[in-house]
Structures are given as C-alpha cells and as structure tokens.
Amino acid sequence: MYRTGPVEKYVADAAAGIPAPGGGSVSALAGALGASMACMAANFTVGKKKFAAVETEARALLTQCEAGRKALVELMDRDVAAYGTVSAAYGMPKDTDEQKAARAAAIQDALKVALAEPLAAFRQCLGVVRRLDRLVEIANPNLISDVGVAAILLEAALRGAKINVEINLASLKDAAFVAETRKEIEDGAAEAARLAASVVQRVYQKMGWPPA
C-alpha cells in the first residue's frame, strides 16, 4: 500500500513508465493534502478559549474534514488496484466470438469499477470544499492561509478526479448511467469552483491583501 510507504517511492512510481499510480490516485492524494490543511486549521481552533463560541461547530467541521481526509488517502491506493481490473479485462482472449463477447462485457464491468474510485474521490473533495465555506469564517485567523490552500488543492483534486471519471465514461455503453454520472460531476464541479473561489477571496480579505 502506497499510503503506508515512503512519499519518495510513490512520487517516483507516479513518474515512472508504469501504469499506476496515475491521475486518479494522484488526484486523491492532492485531495487528501487539501483536506489535511482544513483539518489543521480546525485543530488550531478547537480547544482554544478565544474561539469557545464556535467550539461545537469547529469540532463538527474537524470531524467531517478528517473523515474526508482518511477516505481520500484510502482512495489513493484503491484507484491503483482498480486499474488492474481494467488491465486484466483488456488482456482477456479474443480469438472466438464467445471470447470477444465475454471480453467486451468484462471491459464494461471493469470500467465501472475503475470509474467508482475517482467518482468517490470527487464526492469526498466536494464534501470537504463545502465544509470550507463555513470554516473560513470561524477558523483561527493565524491559519487562514491554510484554509486557502485547502480550497485550492481540493478544487484542483476534484477536477483531476472528474477527468478520470470522464475518460471511463467515454468508453461505457450504458447511456443512462453515463448521463446520470456526467450530470453529477458537471453540477458538482460548478459548485466546487464557485465555493473554492469564494473561500479564497475571503481568505485574502481576512489577510488584508492587497495591502491598503
């Protein structure tokens, strides 16, 4: 599992001429890093007398962001495993009509399996971005730039997850599934872009930037 190994090995393998980890896994990692910055900001807010008025709310946000962070770290590895399913399906024999039919069906099933991981990462990133909309208002101001980093990374990770969903959708023949999934990711991406931009704008305002 990459998540328990050295960062250097993961980055080297991602850069190497091997199939995985690829864009889906890397997007999940970027999302986990973004979520970690949201957790950091929340952790520097909870338990502080100065922020006692928002303690309950900050703890709830911390719990939600931490759940997203953990899920995204797991998805970093799950995406790698899912790629193997697709690779195995494409490697099935295709000498006879029966083999061709079985291979085609296996590929369709495998594409849905592979798509499920970046789609899950997309949903987790969106969930944490939604939490930032409130966190930026109540977080310890000394950590406000970290909330901005969280917004930037999570929105980028979400877009990375989205494109990995889309490349699998392009080869799927289940029109209803494709349409439903495409609508979800288009709507979610638009919401994430709006929220992330708003969060970053408010971060700059709280930083007093640009200087008067």
Domain span at residue 155 reads 2-206
Residue 56 lies in a domain: yes
Percent of the chain's residues with pLDDT above 70? 100
**Cα dihedral 72→206→200→55 (10° resolution):** 30
- What are the tens digits of pLDDT across the range 126-158? 999 999 999 999 999 999 999 999 999 999 999
Q: Is residue 202 part of a domain?
A: yes
**Is residue 153 included in any domain, yes or no?**
yes
CATH of the domain at 85: 1.20.120.680
Decide if 82 is inside a domain. yes
Domain assignment of residue 95, yes or no: yes
- Name the domain count of the chain: 1
211 part of a folded domain:
no
Would you say residue 212 has pLDDT above 70? no
pTM of the model: 0.94
Kindly state whether residue 169 falls inside one of the protein's structural domains. yes
The pLDDT, as a whole number, for residue 210 is 84
The verdict on residue 121 lying in a domain is yes
- Residue 79 confidence (pLDDT): 93
